[in-house]
Structure 1
Amino acid sequence: MTQTLSALLAAANPEAPAIGAPDRPWLTYAGLAAQSTVTRAALHGAGVGRGDRVAIVLPNGPEMASAFVCIAQGAVTAPLNPAYKLDEFDFYLSDLKAKAIVLPASYDGPALEAAEKHGLVVLRLDFASTDPAGSFTLTAEGTTAASADTAMPDADDIALILHTSGTTSRPKIVPLLQRNVAASALHIQQSLALEAGDRCLNMMPLFHIHGLIAAVSASLAAGASVWCAPGFDAVRFFGWLDTARPSWYTAVPTMHQTILQRAPRNADIIARAPLRFLRSSSASLPAQVMLELAATFNAPVIEAYGMTEAAHQMASNPLPPRAQKPGAVGIAAGPQLRIAHEVENHLLDSGIGEVVISGPNVTPGYEGNPDANAKSFFMAEGLRWFRTGDQGSLDDEGYLTLTGRLKEIINRGGEKISPLEVDGVLMDHPAVQQVVTFAMPHDKLGEEVAAAVVLRDGQTADEAAIRAFAATRLAAFKVPRRIVILPEIPKGATGKLQRIGLAQKLGLA
């Protein structure tokens, strides 16, 4: 199996298109290889080499995609959300122990202030809009010393460092080795049967594992092409679909739901789109949305299950002729996948428990956090297993159904309630377009069930009507005590709905 990012790209046709973008010529695989060579030279000239950590703060687009791929062939990449505030950049640059930072040529924001405070080498990325998508130059500010270690990274070197979301605690550092990233890219390429003729339309943020691995790295592993939009924009999506002519796109469920809202007025574009499949990941896709997407685009919807610690993909619904089961996140797709006891370190043969994985794509462990590693990894049946923090069960055909994040399960006076179960019922209400069920504090029960709902265009329903509908399908203790109807549900930086902290955001705490 390929062990490094550079080896991953070696077999591609040099003249084939690799990276594209709106109104830009294509960057070929030969062009990407040349870009990698000049990028490594620029890094080395700035005193940055193998093992040094480079924060990348760039807007979404082809330069961010190629910067990740090229820098990872000479140093350690650490993409950061460009929308962070000064305090956040200050924390992450310090926590990462970054040596350098890549910033746009004209950038003068908080990332620069934080970088200067920490004495980082500042590398300015510039490009011309007439150049192939993903072509760029890197120029160091000031005087820098050349790097002593110009060797190419090997399989056990770190390729990518990301942080966990840190919704309930200090974010944890997740180092992903070259072999982790390469293995995951190949797992996705194999599970989606990607070939050189495939093209992915990427709208996912490229500071996030979903876009970096599923869209960019898996496409390049197949010798295929990836067309990089400047981010998600539902208004521009169908124009991009017509221009890029992708064979697939990957998105989070909230993006798919927004696309569906605009689909009826874009039926002509959908009819001529050459989509082989659609992919959804990073959060559970409601069964109703999977079915509506498949019917609207006349293509199978491949829901996958991923997380940062697994270099993204762990399970995936298979392509036809095997079934795509609505409500399930698929079968093991790369690593081994089992159910474990939620407290004790052993595997279960059946029933509901914590989802655990073992495989070549799994991080060797959190950096500098022995307590988290002791809680998250254990040995069983001769393998090292990672606890995902998700609760679920496997059916007789090996399809995984998630009950929810263990820390998001609602504990109402000792009764455990799955938010995903309540989501699924409320989504069946004809007026409901989107829902997220969450815990709100209760003085006697500890937690009570609440839900935020977005209604379909032109539909009306009030809280009482939706609660009454839920009461016909759910036990009384599972029916949300409060339902808040909103024009839009607050989302995280990657477009995911966030249950934890929602009660406070909505004034229900």
Structure 2
Amino acid sequence: MTHNNANTIATHLDKLAQSQPDAIAITAPGRAPLAYARLNRQINKMRNNLNNGGIGRNDRVAVVLPNGPEMAVTILGVMSGASCAPLNPGYQAAEFEFYLNDLEAKALVMEKGNDSPAKSVAVALGIPIMELVFLPEKEAGLFELEVTQPDIAKNTGLAGADDCALVLHTSGTTSRPKIVPLTQSNLCASAGHISNSLCLDRDDRCLNMMPLFHIHGLVAALLSSIWVGGSIVCTQGHRKDLFISCLREFRPTWYSAVPTIHQAILDEVSSSEFVTDSLRFIRSSSSALPPGIFKSLENSFKVPV
């Protein structure tokens, strides 16, 4: 069966790997940077691993990983040939049971050696587990994927434009969380619109401190950066002293965060002497930014918010 894959994340990345193979795509504190050509090879390798584990297009794969470059590359790899469902690694067993059941997940990807309750829940539900072996001595985001239950996938190869790429849930604050499937075309359009609205280009570098299991970090930071051939710094999340050290080491041109993180950053920079001329704007999303924080950000960084 033929399918249209002209408008997918994987085919877009393949074009970037050919046009700018040595350009940095992903980097992280304490890690060597990952170039577009190497990223593309890792994504293709993971898709083949998934196919060998019986996972094909539109099969839902739950991902439970700590924030960082490995999670970013894993999500891109899963989306290249299946449907990715990133879950909060902080969930408890009952929450994992609900989400894995509701997703009808065909597999769970998690870090080898991690004692997350997701593992025991997946075993009880009969969901195959594929384990990531992190390679911290290698470029940021590289890993080996161990497939312990080989199988034959029905729909192998690259995902098509109309295939489901990402599966998220609503917050469930007013009712039972609902599944929100997003196609490859949906994500490509979103990444394109965000990058256009922010006037991003290949010289931009995003500092991401947002969770990659939320649309904020995943689409607004990761996909929008890669869409234009730019680069992204994938951290494990915001923590004290992280922001200033990343400004100095990576010289990002922008970052995106929620108001609580913006306030924490303001507290950090107010107690430190720092100089930055790399930022060209700051983005805030997911909830309303209080006017006081808005003004303090502009006054502290001398860039638009």
Shorter-chain TM-score range: over 0.9
**Residues 1:117 and 2:124 are matched in the alignment:** yes
Q: Deviations over 1:93-124 (max 9, x none)?
A: 00001000001011122100111111111100
The 1-side partners of 2:280 and 2:103 are apart by 39
The 1-side partners of 2:156 and 2:248 are apart by 43
Q: What secondary structure sits across from 1:272 in the alignment?
A: coil
Q: Which runs of 5+ in 1 are unaligned?
A: 302-509
Q: CA RMSD in A?
A: 1.1
Q: Sort the Cα spacing of 1:60 and 1:273 in 2 relative to 1 into closer, same or farther, 3 A.
A: farther
**Residues 1:292 and 2:305 are matched in the alignment:** no
Contact 1:8 1:220 in 2 (8 A): no
Matches within 5 A, 1:6-25: 6-12=10-16, 13-25=20-32
Residue equivalent to 2:235: 229
Deviation at 1:265, TM superposition (A): 2.2
Contact 2:52 2:153 in 1 (8 A): yes
Contact 2:47 2:157 in 1 (8 A): no
Q: What secondary structure sits across from 2:162 in the alignment?
A: coil
Q: 2:143 aligns with which of 133, 136, 140?
A: 136
Give the aligned length: 297
The 1-side partners of 2:271 and 2:247 are apart by 14
TM-score (norm 1): 0.57
Residue equivalent to 1:260: 266
Structure with larger RCO (C-alpha < 8 A, sep 6+)? 2
Q: Deviations over 1:33-63 (max 9, x none)?
A: 1001110110011111111100000000000
**Residues 1:243 and 2:249 are matched in the alignment:** yes
The 1-side partners of 2:267 and 2:32 are apart by 31
Please state which structure has a larger fraction of its residues in strand.
1
The 1-side partners of 2:234 and 2:128 are apart by 28
Residue equivalent to 1:38: 45
Deviation at 1:162, TM superposition (A): 0.4
Contact 1:64 1:134 in 2 (8 A): yes
Q: 1:157 aligns with which of 134, 159, 163?
A: 163
Residue equivalent to 1:281: 285
Q: What secondary structure sits across from 1:34 in the alignment?
A: helix
* AA in 1 matched with 2:289: L
Residue equivalent to 2:216: 210
Residue equivalent to 2:34: 27
* AA in 1 matched with 2:105: A
* AA in 2 matched with 1:246: P
Q: What secondary structure sits across from 2:154 in the alignment?
A: coil
Q: What secondary structure sits across from 2:288 in the alignment?
A: coil
Question: Which has the higher Rg, Structure 1 or Structure 2?
Answer: 1
TM-score (norm 2): 0.95
Residue equivalent to 1:79: 86
Deviation at 1:8, TM superposition (A): 2.6
**Residues 1:189 and 2:195 are matched in the alignment:** yes
Deviation at 1:235, TM superposition (A): 2.8
* AA in 2 matched with 1:274: S
The 1-side partners of 2:60 and 2:40 are apart by 21
Q: What secondary structure sits across from 2:243 in the alignment?
A: helix
Contact 1:248 1:277 in 2 (8 A): yes
Q: Which runs of 5+ in 2 are unaligned?
A: 1-5
Q: 1:69 aligns with which of 71, 76, 80?
A: 76
Q: 2:97 aligns with which of 90, 111, 116?
A: 90
Deviation at 1:273, TM superposition (A): 4.1
Please state which structure has a larger fraction of its residues in helix.
2
Q: Deviations over 1:428-455 (max 9, x none)?
A: xxxxxxxxxxxxxxxxxxxxxxxxxxxx
Q: Sort the Cα spacing of 1:277 and 1:98 in 2 relative to 1 into closer, same or farther, 3 A.
A: same
* AA in 2 matched with 1:82: P
Deviation at 1:151, TM superposition (A): 2.8
Q: What secondary structure sits across from 2:145 in the alignment?
A: strand
Q: What secondary structure sits across from 2:15 in the alignment?
A: coil
